[in-house]
Amino acid sequence: MKVKNLRIIMLLCVMLVTNLIAQPALKSLIYEGSAIAEEGAWCWFADPRALHYENESGNINCSYVGYIDTHGTIKAVQYDFNQKRRTEVLVRSYFQPDDHNNPTFLVLPDERVMIFYSRHTDEPCFYYRISQKPGDITTLGEEKKIMTKDNTTYPSPFILSDDPEHIYLCWRGIKWHPTIARLTMPDEHDNVNIDWGPYQMVQSTGARPYAKYCSNGKDRIMLAYTTGHPDNENPNWLYYNAVNINTLQLEDVQGRKLSTIAEGPLRVTRTPDYAEQNPMAVVDRTPGWRDWVWQVSFNEVGNPVIAMVKISGDKRTHDYYYAYWDGTQWKKIFLAHGGGHFHQSPDIEHCYSGGMAIDPACTNEVYCSVPVVGAFGKMYEIVKFTINFTTGEVKQQQITRHSRKNNVRPFILNDSEASPLRLTWMHGDYYDWILSSARAGYPTSIHGVVQWDSEPVKLNDGVIAQSEQEGMNGKVKVDKKWNSSDFTLAMSINVTDEKAQGVICEGKDWCLSIDSLSLKPCLKIGKDEYKSVNVWGTADSWKNFGRGTNGKWYPMELYKELELVITYSDNRVRLYINGLLDMNVEGICGLKGLRLGRFNGSISTYAIYNRAFNPDEVGAWCSFIR
């Protein structure tokens, strides 16, 4: 009887909250940020996962945010503040569906953007793509590899002014330890080579040290790292070193040489003797506590600052701290209680905190994901902490409030001080870092504090032909006056066989086909042929297999239904797959002789416009068709 009454009371409470939320007054109190991407997640050890780039001439003013979804699709949003245009780019389809595999960004000296990604300690290589136009990741080139001896994860790339001819890449590699290599700049074919390394930088007594990196932009790469994974190490210490790229040595915080990297790793122990001999290298060694690192940066005088979490021995208590070097010693300031693990799976990853982010432009400001009671119960909200080093006072300001789902893993875009988009985070449910038969992975979205302009969506303007008849194929009648105009061809495709093959659509001097072997689209324009990097499929089959990283590629699941949009303007052809920009190539196309449907599938709907859709219209059309 008591249980029944309790259920009734709970139901009434839910109904009451629902009714209250529907009221405009309470609705105005809810703030979860704005959605930057509807599906996506990231880990916090591969960075920069997002950045802003604005050149001196002002012709490039863009933000880039990268993430991976539960279908194994690596994606990135580019927002061009000059054009006021948001484009979501398909970087790589059918990848290991694991949030450790989020992409990272690097702006090259020629202002092109290089994107790195890798599987979660599953392959001895990195993948990368480079934009073919400065500052514009909608023009990504072909996918290439950097081969390594050991498996890789967490790529963190840097270019420093003392050596502008090289890229320094840090990652978790040799023996699962912090690893570094120096790469040549891309050649005329966008190929890079390792010309120094890879080298293991440290050797810990723990099996898996976790490192965060940043650079001063000139001559040093800073790294803060733990003894190992806090699940396995108690206590778990936090250390700090720096790479001097001029001497290729590891140094302590005062510039004292610790090791020559090429001669072998620096041996790090969790012993009183090591701490006494290396007091400047040990940031924290609290007995019985498990440290984990979230960010390392440097303040206005060049001293390192670190966002860290201290986790209790039983893993139930997570406390956020700010560590900094004051010129003579390491100091720590308590910021907030971070609760316990933030996610919905009670039996795994008890050391997964909500997360922290230091503002690199104002390093006394830290954003933390903290459990707060609101209209929907206890949710993780983003809270800003401001430190006054003179008084020791820590002020706090709640950024999100009354959220319906958790807000976690905050991140500030590098070099974004003058940009409307700075603070970002993950929003939604989270069950595991990988999709598997055990759990649904990370069905989150990417949110941020941003108000950017949307482009006009006018799906009724400019229609010159359309049809909704299953199995359409053959020639399409288009008035000849549109033969040489800008155009949009939007189609809803159904694939009936296990493999897609054939010509999807074609005009007089061009065609779009799908290759039966690679299952990748191919665009031919005149005598030129452009092959996509991306297959027409997902990694959804991972949900049928066990959890873990074992080096396997499980079967690709072919798209049975998909939306294709082709736009043509300014002598450029753009191909969108399910709203994501897949290809952007130069060429002259037209609607003359347009024919649809010579492939092993059907077109259930198509529409042709005498103008090119903007990316917001592409997304709106795909959403409408679905």
Helix (H) or strand (E) holding 19: helix 2-22
- pLDDT confidence of residue 1: 41
- pLDDT confidence of residue 522: 96
User: Tell me, what amino acid is at 263?
Assistant: E
Percentage helix, strand, coil for the chain under 3-state DSSP, each rounded to 5: 10, 45, 45
- Residue 85's φ and ψ, nearest 5 degrees, are -130, 130
- Whole-Å CA distances, 501 to 276, 534, 536: 67, 15, 11
Instruction: Region of 438 please: left (phi>0), alpha (psi -120 to 50) or beta.
Output: alpha
The two beta strands, 537-538 and 521-525, are unpaired
Residue 232 half-sphere exposure toward CB, CA atoms < 13 A:
10
* Residue corresponding to tokens 């324009």: 525
| 3-state secondary structure (DSSP) of residue 248 | coil
548 burial (CB, 10 Å; 0-12 / 13-18 / 19+) is exposed
The model's pLDDT over 133-156, given as tens digits with 9 standing for 90+, comes to 999 999 999 999 999 999 999 999
| 3-state secondary structure (DSSP) of residue 320 | strand
CATH topology of domain 463-625: Jelly Rolls (2.60.120)
Tell whether omega for the bond before 235 is within 30 degrees of 0, i.e. cis. yes
Spatial distance between the Cα atoms of 207 and 221, rounded to a whole number of angstroms? 23
For 326, the token pair is: 């004051």
Number of H helices, E strands in the chain: 4, 47
* Residue corresponding to tokens 């032909």: 465
- pLDDT confidence of residue 159: 98
The model's pLDDT over 76-135, given as tens digits with 9 standing for 90+, comes to 999 999 999 999 999 999 999 999 999 999 999 999 999 999 999 999 999 999 999 999
- pLDDT confidence of residue 597: 84
The model's pLDDT over 283-309, given as tens digits with 9 standing for 90+, comes to 999 999 999 999 999 999 999 999 999
Taking the alpha carbons of 511, 513, 515, 518 in that order, is the dihedral positive or negative? positive
The two beta strands, 266-268 and 202-204, are parallel
For 110, the token pair is: 């020629």
Is the CB of residue 211 less than 8 Å from the CB of residue 205?
A: no
* Mean pLDDT for back-to-back runs of 10 residues, the chain (626 residues): 48 52 71 97 98 97 98 98 97 98 98 98 98 98 97 98 98 98 98 98 97 98 98 98 98 97 98 95 97 97 97 98 97 97 97 98 98 97 96 96 98 95 98 98 97 92 85 82 95 84 93 92 96 96 96 95 96 97 96 91 92 98 90
- pLDDT confidence of residue 6: 47
Helix (H) or strand (E) holding 156: strand 153-160
Helix (H) or strand (E) holding 66: strand 61-68
Q: Which of 153, 24, 63, 165 is nearest to 411 (CA)?
A: 63
Is the CB of residue 75 less than 8 Å from the CB of residue 90?
A: yes
Spatial distance between the Cα atoms of 206 and 200, rounded to a whole number of angstroms? 14
Q: Which of 488, 492, 486 is nearest to 463 (CA)?
A: 488
Q: Which of 491, 464, 463, 490 is nearest to 477 (CA)?
A: 464
- Whole-Å CA distances, 29 to 19, 23, 258, 406: 14, 10, 53, 16
The two beta strands, 580-586 and 572-577, are antiparallel
Bridge partners for 514 per DSSP: 502, 521
The model's pLDDT over 193-245, given as tens digits with 9 standing for 90+, comes to 999 999 999 999 999 999 999 999 999 999 999 999 999 999 999 999 999 99
Angle formed at CA 227 by CA 224 and CA 230, multiple of 5 degrees: 100
pTM listed for this prediction: 0.95
